[in-house]
Amino acid sequence: MIELVPAELDDVAFLSLVQRIVNGAISSLQVREVYLVHIDNWFDHKWLGWWSSWKHKELKVLYVPPFNPNRVRSQKHFLWDGNSSRWTLTGQGKNLHLRQPGRRSSRRQKLDQVSSSAAFIWYSGNTVTNKAGSVMLYLSGAEGYAWYASFTKREHWKVDDGFLITRRELVSFEECGRQMELVRP
């Protein structure tokens, strides 16, 4: 399983929920490479498909969203090791959020140019203070597969909204991730 490690002001219960959803999603989607990016604060649904190509309200060509590198708390790259049936952390992988001079639109990176078959996941930090969190997943090598979900905390964390994903799918991913936690050594 890929573990989400808390940083300062990260709500552990939020990370646990997102960890189950992320692991359930990458297992269900049969992904073998993952980029995991921890953003400093909550981000909204407008980041979904930013700079990407849309046709008839559907995503077609995915680009890395233009988060300012100052907002990136960490970036981790994982590869699936079939021999040990475990995820291996290989460092940060290719840098997704670069500080570059020039016009912003000229810096766009196609997801498929970073990796032809990986899951790219962004999740928010500062969830203790905000009592709000978000997660976004893009899949390279699959035409336009991407989604965004936001969460709020009152007593417990709950799904607030989803874009290009249903609550049923999120619950299914979470349950798959929960089952994986029960069987891990």
Read off the pLDDT of residues 107-147 as tens digits, 9 standing for 90 and up. Answer: 678 888 999 999 999 999 999 999 999 999 999 988 779 99
Residue span of the structural domain in which 143 resides: 12-183
User: What is residue 105's DSSP assignment?
Assistant: G
Closest CA to 105 of 51, 69, 64, 45: 51
Residues 36-84: pLDDT tens digits?
999 999 999 888 876 666 665 677 778 899 899 999 999 999 999 999 9
Tokens of 61: 């060509």
Task: Say if 152 falls within a structural domain.
Answer: yes
Task: Say if 2 falls within a structural domain.
Answer: no
Task: Say if 80 falls within a structural domain.
Answer: yes
Task: Say if 52 falls within a structural domain.
Answer: yes
Global pTM? 0.92
Task: Say if 16 falls within a structural domain.
Answer: yes
Element (H, E) at 114: helix 111-114
Task: Say if 3 falls within a structural domain.
Answer: no
- How many domains would you assign to the chain? 1
Task: Say if 139 falls within a structural domain.
Answer: yes
Answer for the pair 152, 158: CB distance below 8 angstroms, yes or no. Answer: yes
Task: Say if 5 falls within a structural domain.
Answer: no
